[in-house]
Amino acid sequence: MSERSTIRDVAAHAGVAVKTVSRVLNGHPYVSADTRDRVEAAMKALDFRPSVAARILSGAKSNQVALIYDNHSPYYMFQIQKGCWDECHERGIRLLAQPVDVDDPDVGEQVRGLVTETHVDGIILSSPVTDCEPVLKMLDQLDIPFVRISPGTNHALTSSVFMDDAQAADDMTTHLINAGHRRIGFIKGHKNHMASEDRLFGYRRALDRAGIGFEPRLVREGEFDFDSGVRAARQLLDLPQPPTAIFASNDDMGAGVLAVAHDRDIDVPSELSVAGFDDTTLSRTVWPPLTTIHQPMAELARTATEILINGGDITHRRLPHQLIERASVAPLRRDIP
C-alpha cells in the first residue's frame, strides 16, 4: 500500500507553502482564485484526504492539539515539546503541553478534563503516558484521535513513532565490549517506561553474544534523573570488583555517574568509561562530554504531530538512532584487572 499523501506533498505539487494549503483548507478569504485552484487540483491529483487535518484546520473545533507527558528529564522533554511545537507552528495549530502523573489513580479523569475543557482536536502521548492504561481507555471512550511516541505495548492499537531502544542499547554495550571492557555496569531507567526494559534487554543481548556472563549486581535501578544516577554509581563503584565502564540508560543519569567519579578522583575515561543515552544538550555540556546514543527526540515528536494532523489509517514509523562517540569512553587500560 502506498503511503498516504500529506499536506507537504500537496504544497510541493502545487508549488506553494504549507501555510497556503492550510489557508485553502481553512477557507481563508485572502487566497487568490488561481492559487486555490492549484491547491485543489494538487489535492485531487494526490488523492489527498484531509480527514483530521481538515477538521483541525477548518476551525470546526478548537484548532489546537495537546501533548500529554510525564518524564523526569527536562532535557528530553524540551526536545519533545520543540518537535511538536515546530510542526504545529508550521500548520498554524496551537499546542497545549499537559504534565500528568501516571501513578495517580485519577490520571484518566485528568485527561478527560483536559479534553472536555479545552476541546482539543487530537492528543500526542509521550512515554510513559503512551503505555498508561487508564489514559488509553479514556481516550478511546472520548473517541479522540491520538498518536503515541515510543509505545512499549499494544503496538497495533494506534498510530505511533518509535526507535529501536533494544538495538540502540545493544550497539552501545557492544561499543564498550569492543573497547575491551568486560565488567560493564548498567543503570536502568524508570520502571514506568517500557524503554527501560528494552534497553536492559539490549544490554544483556550484547553481553550474551560476546560470551560475557550476565551479573545482576552490575545492574542498578534508576529513575531517569541525575540523583538516581548518583545513587546507582555509588552502589556500582562500592562493589568489591567495580565495573570498568558504566552505561547509564539516559544522559541525566550518566551525568550523575560523572559527578560521582569526579568526587572520588576517578579519572574518566582512563580509569572508568561512562556512556549515556539520548544525546541531550546535557551530554555535550558535562565533562568529559558523554559518549551516547542519539535518539531523534524532536523528530519523533514532530513526526507524531504530523501523523496526528494528517489523520488517516493507523501508521507506524521507526526512526533511526546513532551512536555518538565523545570523550567519556576509552579502551580498557591493561593495568586494570
* Domains of the chain and any CATH numbers: 7-49 (1.10.260.40), 64-163+297-320 (3.40.50.2300), 165-296 (3.40.50.2300)
- CA-to-CA distance for 31 and 12, rounded, in angstroms? 17
Rounded to two decimals, the pTM is: 0.79
Question: If you average pLDDT over residues 38-53, what whole number do you get?
Answer: 78
Question: If you average pLDDT over residues 34-59, what whole number do you get?
Answer: 73
- DSSP, collapsed to helix, strand or coil, labels residue 164 as coil
Name the more confident of 50 and 265: 265
- Of all residues in the chain, what percent carry a pLDDT higher than 70? 93
- Residue-wise pLDDT for 75-87, tens only, equals 889 999 999 999 9
Interacting residues of 226 by C-beta distance below 8 A, sequence separation 6+: 252, 253, 255, 256, 259
Let me know if 58 is exposed, middle or buried by CB neighbors in 10 A (0-12, 13-18, 19+): middle
- Is residue 46 over pLDDT 80? yes
pLDDT for res 57: 47
- Residue-wise pLDDT for 234-276, tens only, equals 999 999 999 999 999 999 999 999 999 999 999 999 999 999 9
- Of all residues in the chain, what percent carry a pLDDT higher than 90? 69
